[in-house]
A and B are shown apart, each in its own frame.
Chain A
Amino acid sequence: MIINHPLLGPRDAQEFTYLGDANLINRPDWQAEDAVDQFHEYLYQRDNPAGKHRELWYHEAGDRSWLVVTRDTLTHEITGVELARDVALKSGRGK
């Protein structure tokens, strides 16, 4: 598999380490009233789609950036690669 890094161009997937579902970025508010339930969902419940999946990859043998990769789990086709930092900032994190 080739991952098209947004800064560095096409790189072999061997250079990367896979973490899992990109929803891990959306950490729940620990002060919410139902924080325990939210964290249970966050930690233990995973979707396992046969199709498009957004996932976190770490460029360990490269520039050490975290990426959000949109990959089809049936065909391994990669349709989108973004820096995880940009995804988090776009969703209002870091403010």
Chain B
Amino acid sequence: MHSLKPLTPLGGTTPRRDEYPGLILMENPDWAMASVAARAGSVKKLASAFTTFAQGKLAAVESIDNSGKITNFWTAPDQWMVMAPFASHESLAADLKAALGNTASVVEQTDGWCRFDLSGAHAVNTLERLSAANSRRMQANRVCRTQIDHLGCFMLCHKAGQDFSILGPRSAAASLHHALTTAAISIA
């Protein structure tokens, strides 16, 4: 048996936390993720199978749905990303595939992404220096795909003007973190 230690996307054994006046930037690695894409003509069947599985709904355009046991957000027409705490949902993709069958294609996304949580009064000031997304007018439970330093990222809003998450490619976690900290320092 190998004695392997899990590392966060930034390479640490514990999540990185940066504090600035008016902003806390947290690496948040503890998420299991899977993408769900409806097969042609199966959107309605997929929606009901998903509701049976998760007791929530598939999110509307540019929205996050937290109403069920697990969270999902809209990524593109007929495509969603499903997220749940890693500790309790390590086999999320396999569980989804078993529940959704041939209504959807499910792809494991855990560890494909890094997640940084921004909270505080300066969250919007930081984000609007980095991205064309209209973070200042984003409402709670809204999401959009945008580019930060040439990296395709999802921007999730949990509380308008206050709490945001950025999901970016894990392989570029340090670059994304550098961009976020550079913007944060420029305000502080």
Give the interface of A toward B (CB within 8 A).
7-8, 12, 14-15, 60-65, 83, 85, 94
Contacts and interface: CB of A to CB of B under 8 A. Distances in A.
Interface of B: 40, 61-62, 75-77, 132, 144-147, 152
**What are the 10 closest A-B residue pairs judged by CB atoms, nearest first?**
A63-B76, A61-B147, A7-B61, A64-B76, A62-B145, A63-B145, A65-B77, A12-B132, A65-B76, A61-B146
Contacts of A62: 144-146
A94 B145 contact: no
A85 B132 contact: no
Contacts of B144: 8, 62
Contacts of B40: 94
18 contacts: A7-B61, A7-B77, A8-B61, A8-B144, A12-B132, A14-B132, A15-B132, A15-B146, A60-B152, A61-B132, A62-B144, A62-B146, A63-B75, A63-B76, A63-B77, A64-B145, A65-B77, A83-B77
Nearest to A94: B40
Nearest to A10: B134
Contacts of A12: 132
B132 to A, nearest CB: 6
A25 B84 CA distance: 39
Nearest to B150: A61
A38 B49 CA distance: 44
Contact of A61 (B61, B62, B75, B145): B145
A62 B132 CA distance: 10
Contacts of B75: 63
> Which among A12, A63, A83, A94 has the highest number of chain B CB atoms within 10 Å?
A63
